[in-house]
Chains A and B, each alone.
Chain A
Amino acid sequence: MSTPSFALLANGTSIPWAGVPEWPAPELVQRTGAELERGARLCAWFGVPEVGATRLVALIAFDADNTLAVGRSAPFAGAYPSLTPSHPQAHMFEREVWESHGLRPEGHPWLKPVRRGAGGAPAMGEFFRVGGGEIHEVAVGPVHAGIIEPGHFRFQCAGEEVIHLEIALGYQHRGVENALVGGPRRATMSQIEAVAGDTTIGHATAYAWVAEALAGAEAPLRSQWLRAVALELERLANHTGDLGALANDVAFLPTASACGRIRGDFLNLTALICGNRFGRGLVRPGGCRFDLEPGRLEQLTGQLAGALSEAELAIGWLWDAASVRSRFEDAGTLHAKQATDLGMVGPAARACGIVRDARFDHPAGWHRLAQAPVAVWPGGDVLARARVRWLEVQRSGRFLREQLAAAVDGEMRAELAPAAGDTLAVALVEGWRGEVCHVALTDAGGRFRSYKIVDPSFHNWIGLAMALRGEAISNFPICNKSFNLSYCGFDL
C-alpha cells in the first residue's frame, strides 16, 4: 500500500500532531482491526473535537515489540463502521466516543451510554434481559452495603445461577477530562491525583511523563527512582489490602485482620516519604516534591522489611487453608481467550496466564533501568488472581529492597520548558490495577486541547461481568474483590 501506516512511538514520548497519519474513518477502523488481528492491543480510542466534526484517534500497543502506534481519522460527523463486532476490546471505547461526541459505531452490539451525566446515570436506561418464566432479575446499587464507591449491577439469574451480569456505572462522573481541557491549571495536578485515589502515584506518574514528553525533557534520574519506589509501595498496599479483603469474604479472619493492618503499614511508608498515605503531593512534572534523605531512607528500609515479612506470613496462611483454596478455586473463571479478546490488563490479565505488564512491555522512566519479573499465573479464577497478587507482593518487595539499597544521587526536580504546541504525548504506567494510559494533545499554544485518561478499570469491568456467567450469585462478592476495580477511575 502506498498510504503510510500507523506512526510508531515509545512509551513516554511525543509526536507532532501533524505527523499522525490520517485516514477516512472506515479505513482507520479497518487498519486498527488488522493490527489487532496481528496481536496488537487497543490502549485508547477517543475523539478529538474539530469545528463541527470529530476525529477518531487510535492508540495501539505492540507489546512484543515494546512499541506504541497512533493513527487518526479525518474529521467527520455521523456514523462509522464499528470495530467491536470483530474486536470486542473496542466495545467500551466506542460507546464512550458515541456518548461524548455523537459518532455512531454502526453494528455495535450494545450501544448505550457509559456514564451519561447531568443528573442521570446509565442505570436509568435499558438493560439486557434474559427471557423465560424461570428467570429473575437482581438489581444492586448504586449504593452498596460496605464503605465502597457507587455503581449499579443488574443480574439475570435462573435460581442461584447468574446467566448474565450487566454493570452500569457513571455515578462517580466528576468531569475530570473536561476540566483538563485548556489546562494545565492550578488544580490540574490535584485532579489527576484524585482520578482514582488508590492509584495516586500511577496516575500522577503518567501525567508527569506526558508533561515531560511535551516539554522535551526527562525528570532527574533520582526522582524517577523515587517514583518507581512509590509505585511499588502503592502496589504492595493495595495487593495486601485485596488479599485481606478476599480472606474476609470467605470468612478466613486471621489473614483478613492481619492484612488490614499491614496494608496500613505500607500506606504509612508512603506517608513517610511525602506525608500523605496515598502519595499525594509527591509526583510533580519535572520530578518529585520530596526527597528521601539517608536517615529517612534507612527508616523506610527497616520498616519495609518488617511489613514485608509480616505480609508473607499472613498471606501464606491463605494457601495452607483447604477451606480457602476450595472457595477460591474455579470461582469466577475468565478464560485466556476471553481476556485477550476483551483487552484485559493488569493482574486480572496475568491471572489468565497472559504476560502483559507495561513495566516490562513498555518500560519508561526508571523501569528502563530496573525491572521486577512479570507475575503470571494460569487459571483465570479467583485463586489465580489472588496468586498473582501474592507473587507481585513478593517481587515488588524484592525490587524495593534492591532499589532502596542502591539509591541514585542527584537532583529531585528540574524546571520544565513550556509544552510543545500541536503535539500528542503518551504515557503508560503499570499501576497496581493494571495499565494506566494518558494521552495528551496540545493546541498551538501548548495548552491541552484534549486529555484522554484510560484507567485499567475501563478495560476490566467487562471481565468481571464475563467471569460471573454461570457462577452462583453468592460468589459475586469474592469475584468482585478479586478484580477490585475502580468506579471513579472508570467514570472520570
Chain B
Amino acid sequence: MFAVDTFTHRLKRGCETMAYPKGPAPALPDRHGGALRVDAAKCPDGCAECLPVCPTEAVTRPPGGGVSLDLGRCLFCTACVEACPHGAITQTGDHRMAVRRREDLVLGQPGHEEVRLAAALDEKLRKLFGRSLRLRQVSAGGDGAAEADLNVLGTIGWDLGRFGIQFVASPRHADGLVVTGPVPRSMELALRKTWNAMPEPKIVIAVGTCAISGGPFIGNPEVMNGVESVLPVDLYIPGWPPHPLTILDGLLRVLGRLDEGSRAQVPAQVGS
C-alpha cells in the first residue's frame, strides 16, 4: 500500500536536504572542472593555440597583450584548457562564479586571473530582500537546460525555500527577474512587459552564458545577445548551463548570506 510505503520510505530516508551552506558544498562532478583561471603572464609572445578552438570566441588575444578569456561567453567545453601548451588556462574546480559587474568575468590580466566574485547588494536592498526574495523567471530563448537546473533548486535536496527564496507566478509579486536564454527578438516585448509589471525596487539576474552574452547564438540576427541589451543586470551567473550549486551560490552571495571565505579556504572539489 502506497500510504504505508511512502510513510516508511520517508522515515527511512530522513532529511534529504543538503547541509550546504552550513556544511560543505556537494562535490562538482570531477570532469566539470568549475570556473577557469587564466594566467596571461604565462602566454609566450605569439602563442595563439587556444584562439581557434573556442566555439564562441570567448578567448581573444589583442596584439601585444596576453590572452583574455570572457567567462560570460564561455561554454565550459575546456577545449582551450586542452589546447594550451603552457598551462595558462586551467580549471579551478570551484563552483563559485557569480559576479556583479560584467567586466569581472573577463579573466587574464595580472590580478584578474580569476572571477571577482559578486559583492552583496547594498544595505537597503539586503534589508528588503535578505530574508525574503521572490523571483519571477522568464526563459527568453533558453533551451530548457538552465531552466531545469533552476527547477532543481526547488527539489528536496536543495530546498531553496529554506533561504526565503521562492519563484512566484506573477511579476507583481516578484522582487527579482531571473532570465535565461539569449533573448530572441520575438521575446523582447514579453521580457520588457514582465519587467515593467514588477514593483520597485527590483533586480535582474542573468543565469547562464546564453543570457549573459548569447552563448553559441552570439551574433545571430534573430537574437539580442543576452539580457543586457534589454534590461540592466545586477547579477551574472555563468555556465552552460550553470550547475545548481553555482546558481545557489550566486543567489546567496548577492543576498550577503554566505560567510565570505577566500578561495583557498574552499575545499578542492575536483576528485580523481
Contacts and interface: CB of A to CB of B under 8 A. Distances in A.
B144 A175 contact: no
Interface stretch (A35-43, A111-119, A347-355): A111-119
A331 B158 CA distance: 32
Contacts of A409: none
B32 A271 contact: yes
Interface stretch (A6-14, A253-261, A460-468): A253-261
Contacts of A191: 216-217
A258 B155 CA distance: 9
A12 B146 CA distance: 30
A198 B145 contact: yes
Contact of B243 (A146, A277, A314, A488): A277
B9 A313 contact: yes
Interface string B228-245: 000000000000110100
B31 A274 contact: yes
Interface stretch (B37-45, B99-107, B121-129, B218-226): B218-226
Nearest to B135: A147
Contact of A174 (B54, B141, B144): B141
Interface stretch (A22-30, A182-190, A366-374): A182-190
A116 B76 CA distance: 32
Interface residues of A, number: 65
Given A171-B186, A257-B156, A197 B145 contact: yes
Contact of B5 (A175, A186, A317): A317
Nearest to B244: A264
A121 B240 CA distance: 26
B47 interface: no
Contacts of A254: 2, 6, 9-10
B196 interface: no
Interface string A264-285: 1001100111111110110000
A264 B220 contact: no
A196 B185 contact: no
Nearest to A189: B55
Interface string B135-179: 001111111111111111011110000000001011000000000
Given A178-B220, A317-B5, A145 B144 contact: no
A72 to B, nearest CB: 27
Contact of B216 (A118, A187, A241): A187
Which of B142, B145, B182, B221 has the most A CB atoms < 10 Å from its CB? Answer: B145
Interface stretch (B64-72, B109-117, B187-195, B258-266): B187-195
Contacts of B31: 271-275, 290
B211 interface: no
Contact of B139 (A149, A272, A277): A149
Interface in A134-173: 142-143, 145-150, 170-173
B85 interface: no
B49 interface: no
Given A174-B220, A174-B222, A254-B2, A280 B240 contact: yes
B120 interface: no
A271 B148 CA distance: 15
A375 B211 CA distance: 38
B6 A317 contact: yes
Contacts of A316: 2
B55 A175 contact: no
B2 A317 contact: yes
B1 interface: yes
A278 B154 CA distance: 18
B223 to A, nearest CB: 5
A264 B75 contact: no
Contact of A147 (B147, B156, B170): B147
Nearest to B149: A277
Interface in B1-24: 1-2, 5-6, 9-10, 16
A174 B223 contact: yes
Contact of B33 (A178, A268, A275): A275
Nearest to A262: B155
A120 interface: yes
A196 B143 contact: yes
Nearest to A259: B155
Given A194-B216, A196-B143, A173 B167 contact: no
B186 A488 contact: no
Nearest to B1: A320
A321 interface: yes
A197 B146 contact: yes
A197 B190 contact: no
A200 interface: yes
A195 interface: yes
Given A172-B184, A271-B32, A150 B16 contact: no
B152 A171 contact: no
Contact of B142 (A146, A189, A197): A197
A179 interface: yes
A264 B157 contact: yes
A145 B143 contact: no
B144 A196 contact: yes
A268 B151 CA distance: 15
A257 B13 CA distance: 13
Contacts of B190: 142-143, 150, 171
B241 to A, nearest CB: 7
Contact of B145 (A119, A260, A278, A491): A278
A442 interface: no
Interface string A436-450: 000000000000000
A145 B138 CA distance: 9
Given A261-B157, A488-B143, 5 more contacts: A143-B194, A150-B140, A172-B181, A264-B157, A278-B148
In the A-B complex, the 9 residue pairs with the closest CB atoms: A197-B145, A275-B31, A197-B143, A175-B222, A260-B155, A320-B2, A190-B216, A145-B169, A254-B6
21 contacts: A118-B185, A145-B169, A145-B170, A146-B137, A149-B147, A172-B142, A173-B186, A174-B220, A197-B147, A198-B144, A264-B152, A267-B148, A271-B31, A274-B31, A275-B32, A275-B33, A281-B76, A281-B78, A320-B1, A320-B5, A486-B144
